[in-house]
Structure 1
């Protein structure tokens, strides 16, 4: 810096070519001189405002008079006159002045005068403060960061933040000046030596290639931990350095590993798992859901399980229960309900639903776990059906034992009585009459035993289907009853329309024809002009309709609903066991058919049997 100093009377003018940052022109530095007696001499245009004085004060006055109220400034002047160089700063009306007091010594070392220089440093002060604030903020961020941040040259650590000390569990002295290898295991997770890989990463970063990678570090005591590392080059005082940021991801790695295991379990389990948002819409389903329902993840996202999976047999009360629990934010479990697949198939599930809450306790999601219990429900239903069947069998058995004992003993008792009478009877005509009565008792006993055998066979024997001829079966049945009393007096009309093969169980069909035809013949009303029996059969590839019609006694109205019950006799004139129509109903049900009766007492009856053609089943 070149300065020109002029002496004009008692004035000193110093011209300084430094640029003025405010105006862009030259900055005139204010100078002054204080002699050993304290007389102040200052340059032309010097503004005493930098000292807090009013403009217009004259030069050549004593500073002790001018500054007599400013004890601090007087102290500075005295110290300067005593040989101490002093620099001060003062801010007046928003302008900051820097003033230096420099003592000048004579050849004897005595202070001859003090040279003062004052200049406006407002802008530089502001710039300096801005830099300091920025440095403070950066240092605060540097030290308050959660991740480890440190600087390094090509081999060693130069500086680090507080998080570095926490993560690596060391002191600053224990890490500054060390190499990255000191805080790395012998080998990385891929098997490579740390001392080979680290220089490669550092060299690439110094070439201007930012690095981001996972690295296995060790703490100061040797404990390993997983980390994410980023390396970026920067320049400091003309020197290249690296900024390294290390994030401890050990917890995240453990969480990821746990999540992978959970994902494996969720994807492999046979249970259905759904994630549902707070609006009740599906976010995600596992593969088991797709396997059971047929819906893919893409097809169900954004849809509500209730509207998607419910159907005609879904219990409304159970659905309402689930909906209310959802609205209340409450979980539930062991709720069983019928759902429907994409193709409309029914399946049973046992559902457990639990809310997922955030830190504040607010429900943010729902998880539903469903177990397919279709097979279990089918087993339960089969057990219930079997139990009902056993109850029915036990009831029928009790009734059977009672009725059988009565119906078996009645003919035997009659025979025993006739035997005793026959022993005393000597008239052959009476003897013949008694033999006829014995024959009737024996026939009655035979019929009853036959009914018992038919009932037993129908109950125990499997259904074996084969091709049948309705015409042969009907005519064979009629042949059995051709010698029955009064059969010749009954007109018989047979109409059979069988154009295709028909498959069913012939043994059950024989039971049906035997009982229905025998009842029509037995209870024919011979008082009518034209007692008749009609057997009408129509069959096709699907089913057969069998109608047995008579104009006999008919069935009383109050008995019509009971005619298929075990041991029920609708006619007071009946001599049967009461098992016939019961056995007919059981036989029809065994081959998958139905039976109904229409009857008017005194007019006649019509029995209608419909049975399926099991042609396809037999071929399979």
Structure 2
């Protein structure tokens, strides 16, 4: 490699280091020594003597020096600075080299404080260093070199230093790629680059099978060759990325050359995933490669850094917007570079419009304060930091207090390029200070207690009201904390915590709390506490004003107790009444049985109005259902003063019946005599109807089961008891009057070959708490067997314990025997079909062989005779033989369609139709027909190619065969549309057409719709059968002398 390129590499690296030096690494006046040592891989390109570059740069007032240890005798110039004579800088190179080896091996940045360095002897270079920072230069996961920084102060943390690694490595990577491109034509170097490249080179077959992986792959992913070669690449790709990569891979198969890049997650040998950026190159047609070359690189670290950068920007923006002050960043011309959310709110509040970046801050400054603002701004732009409080009065009458700050903002070069103007609204604080100053005037003369504490809550002063209320003297209070002095057992901890929190936050608050006097007596206080700020806005003390509210609290408490007791009793009664009114029929009757009160629900259910019921005897709603003895017994119990309860069937006004669950309670006066009867009735009509239906359903089910021979059974495990329904006894052929057999006795009724199956199914169902369904044979008392279907389900308690098995048994003997008979018939039919297929094949083969021989003899005879009569007869013979051969072809097509399974492959309709058209070009009149072919495909189509050929050959052959010779421009139109649902095929012509009376029969076997028809009548029948085999549809439209069209719709064969 030439030395010119070597110098370019050094130039690029040194330029990058210069940028980093200026931007990040130099403290104010701090000299920094930078050593860049490259690994052997880069050394090979730089052709250096020592394999490293040393650059020394000093900031501040020192001059700049550069030294390249690999300098050639020619002594070239780099970055505009002369190279010093060849020499080795007096630094402990052995110690540095040991550290460099450690960084190369670990690929991690290191910081060493108080690093031992050899003194500077025999040189005028002012090198001084106490700290050492080493950063690996990595391209992907390959360490290309190490950047070492030596300085006398080290203001950086390891995580900050690590952020430099991607920027420096990017420069090294660019240089490495330039070197690779410059020497690409050198085959030896190319092989070396492949072996040492950090990029991964993969060769895939067209089905995705891995044929080759470069060494970088095994280093990154940790596999061995036997674990990947011959495997499908998609088995290593994350499941969520497979579809995306498959789409790109499919496109790559269709287009030669380089394709679009794709990012995906690829599994390592340890099961983790690495993010790759891959690009494929279709070289399937290349004779030597015959595959797809994929170049990929590890971008996991890059993705992580990109995510961190996005998050950092979002966090910074959110942090600035969350500042509790309006923040403007202004350029030297007062224009707004940036403003936060509170600044925008300030502009809307004061100026009633939306302010934004690029506008002048002078437009949003108070005119009366403008000179003061401009003066402060200029001082800040000159480097001064300014802060003060100021009252601003605006033209709209708004008066605000602000704490204003002007701070210079520096760029990377240390120059002031903007001013940060911050306005903190302190209007509320100023108002509080004014109010406190007024309160202090009356504090000495008020009857309330006043306490002044410092910012830590230590009492500095109390007034006479505090001494009178608390009982503590002035001297006893000073230096104490109010809480410790006044609070006791009844003081609420929640309020104490609330007050402590407000004090800690410097906030004002109001609350009511229990304190204790010096004598130990508790009393209630209303407390109002406000913070006090000094002239600099700093919290200095608190003022508390307290009022004794013990008498008021005592009255409130007593009133609350009385009201609470009353409302509780009232609410209980009201709730009871409402609940009864919504759910019960309530009535009151006198001693004679006349109704004197009914509620709304009584009227609603009985369908009588209140006026129709009041004064009437309660029997107005009785139905003629209960006996006189029933009511006599009821009245006997009531007249004894006892409560009566029962169910009564009543009749509504419209004649409908309703049932009620009735409670009648005698009402007694103070002398214990009955004066009225309170009746509470709950409607149970639906329940009674349900009970009646259950009774009817049970009877119906019992009869149905007996008729259908379906029985119920249950095994109760705790009692070890078996229960059978009546139908179950009938199925087993046992006498119900002899009783149900025990569980153990029931086992003998199952066929020995089926009993194990039944027990196993029941056991599995019990383990998974699921039902089971099994067909078994049972043994009847007469020794015969019967097939039954048994369904069972385990019943499990909430604690998981099995308590019973419950299910049904059904007689399926006739059905089972029919199934066995049908199975035997199917077996015989299958055998017959197989023999028929063999016969068709044998006949077609044995017939076609002699036909072919006859055709050959006819052709020979044609050449050996000149008699027109003989030639005519020979042509007729040839035509008949071709017709017979076509019929044999059709029989074969029909046989194959019925016999063979559907094969699935991708269909190229354009290629398929062109082949069919070419095969039919010999037909009579084919050359005169204009055939139009249009294929529109939005996706691939998969179906059976051989069946499609049969379908399309027949349709196109008929279209040519039956074209209209009298038309000037005969045509055949073929349109194919493919979408996600399938294929839509249209074949239309302007031929002879088919009469409407024949159109329903054209798909019948051996039917010919025209006298001109020369075929066997099998063609369209085979077409329809083939379309049906592909689960499609075919429709016909035709008019005589106008033409015929067929429309075929075929689904995808998945």
Q: TM-score range by the shorter chain?
A: 0.3 to 0.5
Q: Give the structure-2-normalised TM-score.
A: 0.23
| Higher radius of gyration, 1 or 2 | 1
Q: What TM-score does the superposition give when structure 1 sets the normalisation length?
A: 0.37
